[in-house]
């Protein structure tokens, strides 16, 4: 047989050298979409630094940016998993508020100002989130209702339930120890605990996504659900786990928000879902599933945060930030489309 793509079966060693190559690590790094997003972020930081070095390049300013982005980063971490499975979760803001409300009620009910109460509140917040997530995941995976509809429904349900519990009035009592430590405390008097927690969450779940079987299945389910099923992966159970993870992280975000603002901020999370989806998509994760990295999500969270902060500092109306983020979002999705189109032409 004289065709070029088939190695003769009797001499596989000869072909082995050249038939199969691997792209070197640095080349994958350069061509990866998260690298480009990272460069855009670096570029933004450079531009603002040049425009106003004294105000922008300042540890207090960077601290502000990171603190503002911390809660969103926790939400976006979970959203990365959900979107990689080709799903979506609109309920995060509602679940965040619900978890915060129930956790505040629980802490105030137990009373006291010590770590025991704080841990109680954390566990309650995580459990509330997880319950909503299992509900979401069950409806998506087993009842086969589109995730968009399921989570739109649970967004309203969780937010409504929070309003019913509180009578529409924010819960303003939070143990002071929680505020003074997690809320506004800093490690070594420098790095806010909120930021450390948020980055740790992103790091841990980024490693899980990239290096474990759980992560591999997340990509596989989003890439080709039927192929995953036929490969023996329990797709339904995996989807339930992913939605449960996202909502549990929303519960954690609710707890962090409680610590930071010392109130339940019921009315302040209407756009959390869109912000976290935007961050994930800007970070190179594909809405069609199967593609995405946690590093990209981190960049995607910080691009809007840096834009917002930079515009204020250089004296541009902050409203421009919304316009700029919208443009970046559309650009990111367009790039994803282009890449898919060029692949489909094969």
Partner 1 sequence: MPEPLLEARGIVKNFGRVRALRGANFAVYPKEVVALVGDNGAGKSTLVKTLAGVYEPDEGEILFEGEQVTLHSPLDARRLGIETVYQDLALAAELDAGANMFLGREVMRPGLFGKLGFIDKQAMRVQSREVFNNLGVALQDTTAPVATMSGGQRQGIAVSRAVNWASQVVFMDEPTAALGVVQTRNVLDLIGRVREQGLAVVLISHNMPEVFEVADRIEVLRLGTRVARFRRGEVSMEDVVGAMTGAITHDGEEHHR
Which of 99-107, 114-122, 139-147, 212-220 is the region at the interface with partner 1 (rule: CB under 8 A)? 212-220
Q: By CB under 8 A, what part of segment 264-323 binds partner 1?
A: 289-291
DSSP run (H or E) holding 179: none
Note whether 245 binds partner 1 by CB under 8 A.
no
Give me the least distance between CB of 173 and partner 1, in Å please.
40
Note whether 216 binds partner 1 by CB under 8 A.
yes
Which of 63-71, 72-80, 151-159, 213-221 is the region at the interface with partner 1 (rule: CB under 8 A)? 213-221
Instruction: Compute the Cα dihedral for 260, 265, 267, 273 and give only its sign.
Output: positive
Give me the least distance between CB of 336 and partner 1, in Å please.
12
- 195 or 280, CB closer to partner 1? 280
Q: SS3 for 192?
A: strand
Give me the least distance between CB of 303 and partner 1, in Å please.
24
Place of tokens 């339904």: 236
> What are all long-range contacts of 152-159, with beta carbons under 8 Å and residues at least 24 apart?
152/90, 152/91, 153/91, 154/91, 154/94, 154/95, 155/90, 155/91, 155/93, 155/94, 155/273, 156/94, 157/94, 158/91, 158/94, 158/95, 158/97, 158/98, 158/132, 159/93, 159/94, 159/97, 159/98, 159/266
Which of 227-235, 240-248, 274-282, 318-326 is the region at the interface with partner 1 (rule: CB under 8 A)? 227-235
- 238 or 269, CB closer to partner 1? 238
Binding partner 1 (rule: CB under 8 A), the pick from 59, 143, 226, 341 is 226
- 78 or 94, CB closer to partner 1? 78
Q: By CB under 8 A, what part of segment 26-65 binds partner 1?
A: 28
- 164 or 231, CB closer to partner 1? 231
Give me the least distance between CB of 23 and partner 1, in Å please.
5
300: closest CA among 73, 89, 84, 86? Answer: 73
Taking the C-alpha atoms of residue 290 and residue 83, their distance in angstroms, rounded to an integer, is: 8
- 12 or 326, CB closer to partner 1? 12
Note whether 19 binds partner 1 by CB under 8 A.
yes
CB atoms within 10 A of CB 40: 18
Q: What is the 3-state secondary structure (H, E, C) of 134-151?
A: HHHHHHHHCCCCCHHHHH
Which of 140-148, 190-198, 225-233, 312-320 is the region at the interface with partner 1 (rule: CB under 8 A)? 225-233
Tell me the number of residues near partner 1 by CB under 8 A: 40
CB atoms within 10 A of CB 226: 8
Taking the C-alpha atoms of residue 168 and residue 166, their distance in angstroms, rounded to an integer, is: 5
Note whether 211 binds partner 1 by CB under 8 A.
yes
Note whether 237 binds partner 1 by CB under 8 A.
no
Note whether 78 binds partner 1 by CB under 8 A.
no
205: closest CA among 195, 218, 194? Answer: 218
Alpha-carbon dihedral angle through residues 320, 250, 70, 34, given to the nearest 10 degrees? -70
Note whether 137 binds partner 1 by CB under 8 A.
no
The residue ranges that bind partner 1 (CB under 8 A) are 1, 3, 5-9, 12, 15-16, 19-23, 28, 208, 211-214, 216, 219-220, 222-224, 226-228, 230-233, 289-291, 343-344, 346
């Amino acid at each position: 047989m004289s065709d070029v793509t088939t190695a003769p079966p009797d001499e596989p060693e000869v072909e082995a050298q050249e038939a199969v190559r691997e792209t070197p690590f640095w080349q994958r790094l350069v061509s990866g979409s998260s690298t480009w997003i990272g460069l855009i972020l670096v570029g933004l930081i450079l531009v603002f630094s040049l425009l106003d070095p004294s105000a922008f390049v300042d540890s207090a300013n960077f601290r502000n940016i990171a603190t503002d982005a911390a809660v969103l980063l926790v939400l976006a971490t979970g959203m990365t998993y959900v979107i990689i499975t080709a799903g979506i979760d609109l309920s995060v803001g509602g679940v965040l508020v619900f978890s915060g409300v129930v956790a505040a009620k629980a802490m105030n009910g137990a009373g006291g100002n010590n770590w025991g109460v704080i841990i109680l509140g954390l566990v309650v917040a995580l459990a509330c989130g997880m319950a909503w997530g299992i509900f979401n995941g069950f409806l998506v995976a087993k009842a086969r209702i589109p995730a968009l509809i399921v989570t739109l429904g649970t967004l309203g349900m969780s937010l409504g339930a929070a309003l019913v519990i509180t009578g529409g009035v924010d819960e303003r009592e939070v143990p002071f120890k929680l505020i003074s430590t997690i809320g506004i405390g800093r490690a070594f008097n420098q790095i806010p605990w909120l930021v450390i927690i948020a980055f740790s969450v992103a790091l841990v779940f980024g490693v899980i996504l990239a290096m474990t079987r759980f992560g591999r299945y997340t990509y596989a389910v989003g890439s080709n659900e039927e192929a995953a099923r036929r490969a023996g992966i329990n797709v339904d159970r995996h989807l339930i786990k992913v939605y449960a993870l996202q909502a549990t992280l929303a519960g954690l975000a609710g707890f962090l928000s409680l610590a930071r603002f010392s109130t339940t901020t019921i009315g302040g999370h209407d756009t959390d879902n869109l912000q976290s989806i935007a961050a994930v998509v800007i970070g190179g994760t594909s809405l069609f599933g199967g593609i995405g990295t946690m590093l990209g999500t981190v960049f995607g969270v910080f691009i809007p945060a840096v834009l917002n902060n930079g515009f204020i500092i250089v004296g541009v109306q902050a409203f421009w930030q919304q316009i700029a983020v919208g443009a970046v979002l559309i650009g990111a999705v367009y790039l994803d489309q282009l890449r898919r189109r060029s692949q489909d032409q094969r």
